[in-house]
Amino acid sequence: MLLQLNNICKTFGGIVAINDLSFEVKKNQILGVIGPNGAGKTTVFNCITGIYKPDRGKIYFDGKDITGLKPHIISKLGIARTFQTIRLFPSMSVAENIMAGRHTSCRQTWFDSLIRTPRYFRDEKENWLKVKYFIELLKLSEYTSSIVGSLPYGIQRKIEIARALASEPKLLILDEPAAGLNTKETEELVELIFQIKNMGITIMLIEHDMDMMMSLSEYIIVMNFGEKIAEGQPNDVQSNPQVIEAYLGSD
Amino acid sequence: MKKNFIWYVVFFAIAIVYPHFVNPSWVDIGTTFALYSVVALSQDIVLGKAGMFDMGHAAFFGIGAYTAAILNTAYNIPIIYTIPIAIILSALFGIIISWPIIHLRGDYLLVATIGFNIIFYQALQNNVFGITGGPNGIFGVSTPVIFGINIASQRAIYYFAWFILLITMLIIYNIDKSKLGRAFHYLRESELAAESFGVNKRFYKVLAFALGAAVASLAGVVFAVQYAAVSPETFNFTQSVLFFTIVIVGGPSSIPGVLLGAFVMFVIPQFFREFATARYFVFGIAMILTMILRPQGIWPAKFGKLPKYIKES
Amino acid sequence: MEIFLQQIVNGLAIGSIYALVAIGYTMVYGVMKLINFAHGDVVALAAYIGLTVLMQAFGMHVDKLWAVILMFVITSLFISMFGIFLERLAYRPLRKAPRLSAVVSALGASLAIENGIMLIWGPNIKVFPSNVFPSARWHISGVIINSTQIAILLLSIILMLALYIFINKTKIGTAIRASAIDQDAAKLMGIDVNSIIIAIFALGSFLGSIGGLFIGVYYRELYFQMGWIYGLNAFIAAIIGGIGNIPGAMLGGMLLGIFNVLIAGYVSNTWAEALTFVLLILILIVKPTGILGERVAEKV
């Protein structure tokens, strides 16, 4: 198992965002997290990636205790993510944005950068070529030099994924990657996610598009009010009465 | 890239012949313009690239100037050796000052840097440890001797200052197209995303301050040489506001922008010396108008200049 | 002990002035998240205008109560309008622009006002007449209190109480508080945030102008750069109390006034300014939200 959450609790002021949450993610699995808005899904992702420190509980990644580590450390350990609201670098070009994914792989020190040692040149070439690979993989070649802020929403979503992939992560976390996409774009996204799985990467995703979740996920965690209310194969979860009640309310 | 390079060649060519065509007071202005540009570029590392509101940068300029002045006049250390000392000392101060305040929100960081500047200024005024010379400052700073040549004449100092500017521009250029520069820009545009992709916030932010301090201090040493003296006024909060404004009005993280900003904010007022009293009034109005009409700065930075090998298919 | 009490009295007087000025900073920051760097210079302008009104209009009668009252009324009305004008010119066009632009615009406005003062009134120090407030002195157990201090303290307290009631008990006051918490939500609730912003600039400038006049009456020496010194100190006071928090600004002002005076008296006069900033930096590191302020979390 690649990722394990044990009894995670997180409170903000008086509000309990996550309460005693535990689940596992297996290697190379596609795990979906669903639940109504405000269920705490993004908060879980933020705890995993180090943006929040859980008040209680432990998170283990690849055998290592990563609870409360800072985001930049967790990134180095092999977890990459996209954000619910797109967080790209708007003034910069697509390639420069994706290059952010290569930050931890770049070996040049700040001193190398300052005076342009041979190591600098080698490092730049190696990483820019990797960026090029991912640009082509996501079919973004025509936008390579374009400034991200001016690009359409669907393209920006792809750039976010490319940036995350460029870090060659073990675990990829996608937070509502299909939000705002049209049907065609969503289909392409599903294909892409399968492609990513075939690359050997483990995937966790939050989504509200049920059809997409059911067709993609191999295993699903259902959350409501900060707690896990169900888990299992998509079919089992779909027919679980508690899950139905959480989404539709009871009579 | 080619186009910009030609502009830079023209720019330096003009700078080289300039002293032969103008009278000495204007040569002095040319020297100070070069040095102020260096300070503004150093401020740009912190403000324009890394996106931190630093409004106390004149203090680092002052650390360089005063270090050179004190070591040279009180301890007879040749100016050339004060340069590395000033740079390292200033970088250390940059680290010490920024370390405790680096995670403050923008406006609070701004006020904290103002605070450090004012503390520095008062320390100079109050002749702290008896070495800063009080409100009158320190006189009698000598000139550097490099490879046996004494850089003593007004012209020699002018060329030396412009040489420092050239070095600074190269350093800035190198920073921009590298992992270091990208990390700064990532932090500026979206700190959260940058962190999530491995950028160690604290390390890079403090590094930005250290580099900014080091470069400013280099200009400070040459400034002390130019006037053969240092005094507190040049390094007070009003000066910091000047450097801050140069970056924002000229164009953050843009070398031509910052140079243009320095020209507009420092050189142009010199033309209007006769209107001395109205100068800064017009200035203030101009600052407001520039932000309204051109918030991105006169010559904004352009991203998307990528190495050739990534663009060809 | 008497010296200490004396310092406290002096500190309360200057603290009241800081408090009045700090309120202007904190109100603007609370709603617009903007440091109005020009506020200190607006305060200075008030002092100069007050002096001009007093000398030009009332020349011989500077000690008559009606003259003094008129000076206050005319000056504060003018400065309130000036504050509205300042917002319209330097800040409103930049509502949607990045924060840095507004900061530079504020600095530009500050520079323009400061040098505008110099252009109009000249670079030399101007002096307020000494008997604007009736000058009586009382000796109470070794402490000298003069009536000017009492007047400033009392008037300031009355004004701050009035403001407190206004902010907490009136509809407009509630609208101001709502806009400070969440501008967008306030708009959705039907609050005309534009009018609110005009109101806070008018109100902040009004109070600041009273502070400026007090500076003139109490310290009597006016110089065109004074806006910066008082402005920065008042701003520090606002931060100490919790930026965006009006009672905080009042509290911060008083505390800073006392702190200032005690440092100057007991530690060193020449280091007073620097030590004030040391205090500020310590507060920013330890509790940046200030004494009464609250941290607002950002949704990720």
Residue by residue, what is the 3-state secondary structure of chain A? CCEEEEEEEEEECCEEEEEEEEEEECCCCEEEEECCCCCCHHHHHHHHCCCCCCCEEEEEECCEECCCCCHHHHHHHCEEECCCCCCCCCCCEHHHHHHHHHCCCCCCCHHHHHHCCHHHHHHHHHHHHHHHHHHHHCCCHHHCCCEHHHCCHHHHHHHHHHHHHHCCCCEEEEECCCCCCCHHHHHHHHHHHHHHHHCCCEEEEECCCHHHHHHHCCEEEEEECCEEEEEECHHHHHCCHHHHHHHHCCC
Q: How many CB atoms lie within 10 A of CB C182?
A: 12
Is there a contact between B197 and A80 if contact means CB atoms under 8 Å apart? yes
Cα-Cα-Cα-Cα torsion B48, B52, B55, B56, nearest 10 degrees, comes to -110
pLDDT given for residue A27 in this prediction: 94
List all residues 6 or more positions away from C208 whose beta carbon is below 8 Å from its beta carbon: C20, C21, C23, C24, C39, C42, C43, C46, C79, C83
What's the pLDDT score for residue B240? 93
The closest alpha carbon to B82, from B29, B145, B133, B39, belongs to B145
CA distance A128 to chain B (A): 6
pLDDT at C295 over 70: no
pLDDT at C190 over 90: no
**Nearest CA of chain A to the CA of B187: how many Å?**
9
pLDDT of B110 above 60: yes
Chain B nearest-CA residue for A104: B198
A51 touches chain C (CB under 8 A): yes
Q: Looking at residue A51, what is its pLDDT?
A: 94
C-beta separation of B248 from B296 below 8 A: no
Q: Give dist(CA C102, CA C92) in Å, integer.
A: 9
Write the DSSP string, C257-296. Answer: HHHHHHIIIII-STTHHHHHHHHHHHHHHH-TTTTT----
Predicted pLDDT of residue B11: 92
Chain C closest CA to B93's CA: distance in Å? 16
Which residues neighbour C96 within 8 Å (Cβ) at sequence distance 6 or greater?
none
Q: Given phi > 0 = left and psi -120 to 50 = alpha, else beta, which region is C145? A: beta
**What's the rounded Cα separation, in Å, for the pair C298 and C300?**
6
**Percent above pLDDT 70 for chain B:** 97
Cβ of C271 within 8 Å of Cβ of B101? The answer is: no
Residue C60 scores a pLDDT above 90: no
Q: A251 to chain C nearest CA, in Å?
A: 32
**Residue B93, pLDDT score:** 96
Contact C87, C79 (CB under 8 A): no
Does A198 have pLDDT greater than 80?
Answer: yes
**Does pLDDT of C149 surpass 90?**
no
What's the one-letter identity of residue C98? P
Residue A249 has pLDDT above 90, yes or no: no
Question: 3-state class of C144 per DSSP?
Answer: strand
Residue A30 sits at φ, ψ, to 5 deg, of -105, 110
Running DSSP on this structure, what letter comes out for residue C222?
Answer: E
Asked if pLDDT for residue C300 goes beyond 70, the answer is no
> From the CB of residue C2, how many other CB atoms can be counted at a distance below 10 Å?
12
Please state the rounded mean pLDDT for residues A36-53: 91
Residue A226 has which token pair?
A: 């900060």
pLDDT(C179) > 90: no
- Give the list of residues 6+ apart from residue B259 with CB closer than 8 angstroms, or none: B11, B37, B250
Pairing of strands B145-146, A79-81: unpaired
Find, in chain C, the residue whose alpha carbon is nearest to that of A40. Answer: C300
For residue B304, the distance in angstroms to the closest alpha carbon of chain A comes to 5
Percentage of chain B lying above the pLDDT 90 cut: 67
| Mean of the per-residue pLDDT values of chain B | 91
> Above 60 in pLDDT, residue C296?
no
Q: Measure CB to CB from residue A167 to each of B179, B197, B309 and give the nearest one.
A: B197
Pairing of β A15-25 and β A3-12: antiparallel
Contacts of B47 (CB under 8 A, 6+ apart): B53, B54, B244, B247, B248, B252
Report the distance separating Cα B54 and Cα A37, nearest Å. Answer: 40
Give the helix ranges, DSSP H, for chain B: 2-17, 24-44, 58-75, 79-101, 106-125, 154-176, 179-189, 191-196, 201-227, 237-250, 255-262, 268-271, 276-293, 308-311
Q: What is the pLDDT of residue C220?
A: 87
Q: How far is CA B38 from CA B118, B246, B247, B287, in A?
A: 22, 11, 11, 21
Q: CA B295, CA C257: separation in Å to the nearest integer?
A: 38
Work out whether the CA dihedral C97, C98, C104, C110 comes out positive or negative: positive
Instruction: Give B160-173 pLDDT, tens digit per residue.
Output: 999 999 999 999 99
The H or E element spanning position C29 is helix C2-32
Select from C102, C232, C271 the Cβ nearest to the Cβ of B126: C271
For residues A172 and A163, what is the distance between their CA atoms, to the nearest angstrom?
11
Q: Does residue A251 have a pLDDT over 80?
A: no
Interchain CB distance below 8 Å, A71 and B196: yes
Which residue does chain B place closest to C89, by CA atoms? Answer: B288
Assess contact for B185 and B5: CB atoms under 8 A. no
Which residues on chain A are in Cβ contact (under 8 Å) with C300? 42, 46, 51-52
- The answer to whether residue B253 scores a pLDDT higher than 90 is yes
d(CA C122, CA B295): 33
How far from chain centre, in Å, is Cα B276?
25
- The structure's pTM equals 0.91
Q: Check if B104 contacts C (Cβ < 8 Å).
A: yes
CB distance from C296 to chain A under 8 Å? no
B-chain CB neighbours of A103 within 8 Å are 179, 182-183, 186, 197-199
Question: d(Cα A229, Cα B300) in Å, to the nearest integer?
Answer: 52
What is the per-residue pLDDT across A48-74, written as a single tens digit (0 to 9) for each? 999 999 999 999 999 999 999 999 999
DSSP 8-state symbol, C88: I
Residue B85 has pLDDT above 70, yes or no: yes
What are the two backbone dihedrals, phi and then psi, of residue A38, each rounded to the nearest 5 degrees? 85, 5
Whether C297 has a pLDDT exceeding 80, the answer reads no
Please state the rounded mean pLDDT for residues B123-133.
88
Question: Which of B116, B241, B292 is opposite residue C93, by nearest beta carbon?
Answer: B292
What's the pLDDT at C143?
A: 74
Taken as a whole, chain A contains a residue count of 251
Q: CB-CB: which of B179, B304, B310 is closest to A147?
A: B304
Instruction: Out of A148-162, B132-146, B220-234, pick the least confident.
Output: B132-146
Average pLDDT over residues A175-204: 92
Q: Which residues of B fall within a CB distance of 8 Å from C288?
A: 104-105, 108
Q: Are A44 and A223 in contact (CB under 8 A)?
A: yes
Q: What is the mean pLDDT of residues A166-187?
A: 93
Contact A141, A135 (CB under 8 A): yes
Residue of chain C minimizing CA distance to A13:
C297
pLDDT digits (tens, 9 = 90+) for A7-32: 999 998 888 999 999 999 999 999 99
Residue A10 has phi, psi (to 5 degrees) of -145, 125
Structure-token pair, residue B57: 């940068």
Q: Which two tokens stand for residue B84?
A: 């590395």
Both structure tokens of B311:
């663009």
pLDDT band for position C6 (50/70/90)? confident
Q: How far is CA A10 from CA A20, A47, A52, A224, C143, in A?
A: 9, 9, 8, 14, 56
Supply C107's token pair: 């600095």
Which chain C residues contact residue B252 at CB under 8 A? Answer: 100
The pLDDT of residue B306 is 86
Largest CA distance in chain A: 70
Asked if A86 has any chain C CB less than 8 Å from its own CB, the reply is no
Tell me the pLDDT tens digit for each residue of A90-107.
Answer: 999 999 999 999 999 999
- Tens of pLDDT along B285-303? 988 998 999 888 899 998 8
Q: How many CB atoms lie within 10 A of CB A175?
A: 22
